[in-house]
Each structure stands twice: as structure tokens, then as C-alpha cells.
Amino acid sequence: MPDQAAPETTISPKVIAQAVTGVALTALVAGIAAVTPDHFASLGIWGPIGYAAIVSIGGSIAGYIKRDPLRGTGTS
């Protein structure tokens, strides 16, 4: 086994895009909720779900639209 090289473990740009977008949207939603708490009041008890949905949907979209040349279709 020592003669085998370890696989390259670079972090996918898709993962980085999702993480950065998630952190940014979390800060944005937390800031909006802190400054204007009534902004999400119309959601009632579903407010926390709305906060989480904004972050998760935004992160998913960012990961989806980010291109990753190493993991594209037709590459080896």
C-alpha cells in the first residue's frame, strides 16, 4: 500500500459556493430579523422555517449554478 498515491482531496467549487452563500444569507436574514423583527411576522409560527428555507434554497441554487470542471459530465 505505501507505493500508492493518496487521492487528491480538493474541495469542490460547488461545495464552497454553497457554504459561502449559506453563511452570507444567514447573516443577511439574521440582520433583517434583528433590525425589523416584524418583517417575517406574517409567517407566524412558520417564521423559523422561512429563515431556514431562504438559506437552504439560496445555497442549493448557488451550488447548482456553480461550474465544477473536475466533476462535469464526460470527464474522467
pTM (predicted TM-score): 0.71
> What pLDDT is attached to residue 22?
93
Mean pLDDT per segment of 10 residues, for the chain of length 76 residues? Answer: 67 89 93 86 88 92 86 61
What would the DSSP string read from start to end of 4-44? SPPPP-PPPHHHHHHHHHHHHHHHHHHHHHHH-GGGGGGGG
> What pLDDT is attached to residue 27?
94
> What pLDDT is attached to residue 28?
93
